[in-house]
Structure 1
Amino acid sequence: MKFLRFNQTYFFIALILFVVEVLIALYVHDDFIRPFVGDVIVVWFIYYSIKTFVGIKALYIAVFTLFFAFAVETAQYFQLINILGLQNEQWARIVIGTSFSWWDMLCYIVGFLFLFVIDKKLRKNH
């Protein structure tokens, strides 16, 4: 398997997940889907986005995705957006985020665990 490649199937999965995330961000203003389901889905989006271009073991991608999500949340804890002077930039507030939450960390773990259910290659650890 080549390290760098383009996988059309994973691209379309990532694209669909991206659209779902955008729709949640724009139109869902509740106390469950937006704050919790959105954080679970973002783990899947990152995972399939990476799988689109990188051909390594699914487990490695899943673990990297979880650590990446933790890193972003930790950056929120340390208010990275303010350190970078981007607190007034809407795009940065969306991408980087503005507030740390232990619930978000739990959602990332749930998203990571669900990957084992929804991705056959991860279960087989190819």
Structure 2
Amino acid sequence: MKKSRIFYFIIVILVVLLGITSRKITGIPLFIGDILYAVLIYFGFRFLLITLKKSTSLLLSLLFCFGIEILQLVQIDWLITIRKTTLGHYVLGEGFLWSDLLCYIIGTSIAFLIDHLFLSSRINQMNN
């Protein structure tokens, strides 16, 4: 199980780097970063809650992403202050967009499929 957790941690780090890079390079559509955010959240749940079923991680990821997006409708002073920081902006976003919800569905679905079709068998082999 330790190897599995390390494997998911490496994936999380790679997705963070890809996400930040996608925001820095002009020409990459902004929605790619939103999809990568959802992928990051999915693999983050897999890393933290490794014993959960993949389908549960998928559901938790969607709920988390949707929760963050809906929270962007809340305009409380302290929350706005956090959003103005670099980390706060990356984690909490800035403004509600319906299209972001679609990106989160796409991103978590892609991550789930990658995990289910490709990673699970590889992780099982590493643990044996």
**What is the TM-score when the length of structure 2 is the normalising length?**
0.76
Cα pair 1:17 1:44 within 8 Å, conserved = yes
* 8 Å contact from structure 2 (residues 54, 116) kept in 1: no
Q: Who is 2:126 aligned against?
A: none
Q: CA deviation at 1:73?
A: 0.4
Query: Does residue 1:11 correspond to 2:6, yes or no?
Result: no
Distance 1:38 1:11, change over 3 A: same
CA deviation profile, 1:27-74 (whole Å, cap 9, x unmatched) = 2234xx442111111111111122112121111111100110000000
Q: Which residue of 2 aligns with 1:115?
A: 111
How has the CA–CA distance of structure 1 residues 102 and 89 changed in structure 2, closer, same or farther, with 3 Å as cutoff?
Answer: same
Aligned pair count? 117
Find the counterpart in structure 1 of residue 21 from structure 2: 23
Deviation at 1:96, TM superposition (A): 1.1
Match for residue 50 of structure 1? 45
User: Which runs of 4 or more aligned residues in structure 1 lie more than 4 Å from their structure 2 counterparts after TM superposition?
Assistant: none
Distance (Å, rounded) in 2 between the aligned partners of 1:51 and 1:28: 28
Q: Which amino acid aligns with 1:120?
A: H
Q: What is the CA RMSD across the aligned residues, in angstroms?
A: 2.6
Q: Are the aligned partners of 1:73 and 1:101 in contact in 2 as well (CA < 8 Å)?
A: yes
Residues 84 and 11 of structure 1, relative CA distance in 2, 3 Å threshold: same
2:75 is the alignment partner of 1:79: yes
Partner of 1:40: 35
Q: Which amino acid aligns with 1:17?
A: V
Q: Aligned partners of 1:29 and 1:120: how far apart in 2?
A: 32
Unaligned runs of 5+ in 2: 121-128
| Cα distance between partner residues in 1 of 2:7 and 2:100 | 28
Contact 1:14 1:45 in 2 (8 A): yes
TM-score under structure 1 normalisation?
Answer: 0.77
CA contact (8 A) 2:45 2:57 kept: yes
In structure 1, the gaps of 5 or more residues are none
The residue type paired with residue 19 of structure 1 is L
Q: Contact between 2:73 and 2:96, CA under 8 Å: does it hold in 1?
A: yes
